[in-house]
Amino acid sequence: MGIEEPSKHSGIVIVGAGLAGWHVIDAIRSKDKEIPITLITADNADRYHKPMLTMAISQDKKPADLVRAAGEQAAKTANVTLLAHTQVSDIDAASQTLQLVSANRSDPANTNDAVINYDKLVLAMGAHPIFPKSLPESLVWHVNHIERFGQLQEKLSTGSQHVVIVGAGMVGTEIAEDLLKAGHKISLIDLNDAPLAQMLPAKATARIRQAIESQGIEFLGGYQVTDVVRNEDDRLEVSYEPLENVQGQANTMTVDHVIASTGLVVDDKLPAAAGIEFNPRTGIVVDAPTLRTNANNVYAIGDCMSIDGVACRYVAPLRAQAATIADDILGHAHAGYDHKPPMIRLKNKAFAVTVVGVPQATGNWQVKTETTDELVMELFDDATDDKAVKATVSLKVPAKPAAKA
């Protein structure tokens, strides 16, 4: 679908057709079947569950296997005007208009005349992978969108290959195990000395590192990638070196693929154009009870927004966030969104990690349970008189079956 004849009065306009955008549509349609909704997205708006991407290759899942509903059909079912393969190039919050550019127009040189109005605007545009200068986007993969996932899956389907994953946070740690199970050789490189070191205490991350390495994953902690180049054999030369406080030597390895898992960033172009309060680190700032931005009639949800200085990049709260936005837009009385940190579960099978609360690497972590195959730790809030528990991490490493005689 293009934008040659966009409606001038589009009612509710949602920018972004990921999980967050579709959740808002579902919430509105559960309360109002007729109010006009326009969905604008740079892709085809197919509905799929993004968290599945980090465990799909070992299951031999292709993009078509992960799509729950094609975008065009989903929009038709929901009575939504879909502007697919379309980008918003500007927001004028004063006149409540959006300027659009479509990839489908036959005259790409003259795309500055497509403008639509909105009564209410919901920004659900997500966040984008960070590519440091040492990881050129033309050579390095990411697994943050189904289209890019499909291209990587096709490349890896030809046989066992050597893959370097840069970044050992949640996503990098999950992908490493998934690709290992698919039969590939995996090297996991991180600035820290253990996976998940930015969110969990050292005692827990040391066990995670041990569990990862026992699977056969090469973990290079305390190293940074300095360059990635393609060689004459069409493979990649990955140069890396230790941090200043880490003993080790600079080295180069030859691999087939590199995947960046180095975090996400929200594009500030549209928030800046609309005069929306924005934090470069965490994204669009919203009022927690309503999820409104400081711009009139503009809301934000999902990966692109933050509450109380914390980025909201988990799937679990989306349904409640979308319900709040729907009620607020439709003028229904509501109690307000009550933001609670979601329970975090890694999808790894070789070990189980569950986190409740707001974890952080440092602080007053105390051991609650410690055995050979289980570790439970609690983070206490020293700033309160009762020293309340701020977070709990539970780590279980299943015992390996005894070797056959």
Q: What is the pLDDT of residue 71?
A: 98
Tens of pLDDT, residue by residue over 89-100, are 999 999 999 999
Q: Are residues 322 and 307 in the same domain?
A: yes
> pLDDT tens, 187-246?
999 999 999 999 999 999 999 999 999 999 999 999 999 999 999 999 999 999 999 888
Kindly give the interhelix angle for 19-29 and 318-330, rounded to the nearest 10 degrees: 50
pLDDT band, very low/low/confident/very high, at 103 (cuts 50, 70, 90): confident
State how far the Cα of 152 lies from the Cα of 149, in Å rounded to an integer.
5
Residue 339: inside a domain: no
Domain count, the chain: 3
Residue-level pLDDT at 185:
98
- Those residues whose C-beta lies under 8 Å from the C-beta of residue 174, and which sit 6 or more positions away, are 54, 55, 346, 347, 348
Domain boundary among 278, 300, 330: 330
- 133 and 255 in a single domain? The answer is yes
In a domain, 75, yes or no: yes
pTM (predicted TM-score): 0.92
Looking at 279, 302, 330, which one is the last position of a domain?
330
Q: How many of the other CB atoms lie within 10 Å of CB of 364?
A: 12
Say if residue 140 is in the same domain as residue 253: yes
> For residue 204, which of 380, 340, 342, 379 has the smallest C-alpha distance?
379
Confidence of residue 8 (pLDDT cuts 50, 70, 90): low
Does residue 366 belong to any structural domain of this protein? Answer: yes
Look at residue 321 and tell me if it is in a domain: yes
**Four-residue CA torsion sign, 152, 155, 158, 163:** negative
Instruction: Share the mean pLDDT of the chain.
Output: 93
Supply the pLDDT for residue 399: 63
Structural domain containing residue 99: 12-127+266-330
In the predicted model, what is the mean pLDDT of residues 300-306? Answer: 97
- pLDDT tier for residue 2 given thresholds of 50, 70 and 90: very low
218 and 138 inside one domain = yes
One domain, residues 37 and 120 = yes
Q: Do both 75 and 100 map to the same domain?
A: yes
C-alpha distances out from residue 248 to 223, 241, 262, 367, Å: 9, 8, 22, 32
Q: Are 64 and 154 in contact (CB under 8 A)?
A: no
**pLDDT bucket at 387, cuts 50 / 70 / 90:** confident
Average pLDDT, integer, range 249-265: 96
- What confidence tier does 114 reach under pLDDT thresholds 50, 70, 90? confident
Q: Indicate which CATH number applies to the domain containing 379.
A: 3.30.390.120
Find residue 88's DSSP bridge partners: 100
One DSSP character per residue, 185-212 reads EEEEEESSSSTTTTTS-HHHHHHHHHHH
Burial zone of 295 (CB within 10 Å; 0-12 exposed, 13-18 middle, 19+ buried): buried
Q: Do the strands 12-15 and 120-123 form a parallel or antiparallel pair, or are they unpaired?
A: parallel
Question: Residue range 379-388: average pLDDT?
Answer: 85
* Residue-level pLDDT at 116: 93
pLDDT, tens digit, 9 for 90 and up, residues 146-185: 999 999 999 999 999 999 999 999 999 999 999 999 999 9
Domain identity same for 207 and 307? no
Mean per-residue pLDDT, 308-334? 96
Q: Which of 260, 275, 306 is the last residue of a domain?
A: 260
Phi, psi (degrees; rounded to nearest 5) at 146: -65, -30
306 burial via Cβ count (<10 Å: 0-12, 13-18, 19+): buried
Average pLDDT, integer, range 360-371: 96
DSSP state of 141: B
Both 200 and 287 in one domain: the answer is no
Helix (H) or strand (E) holding 75: helix 71-77
Same domain, 140 and 122: no
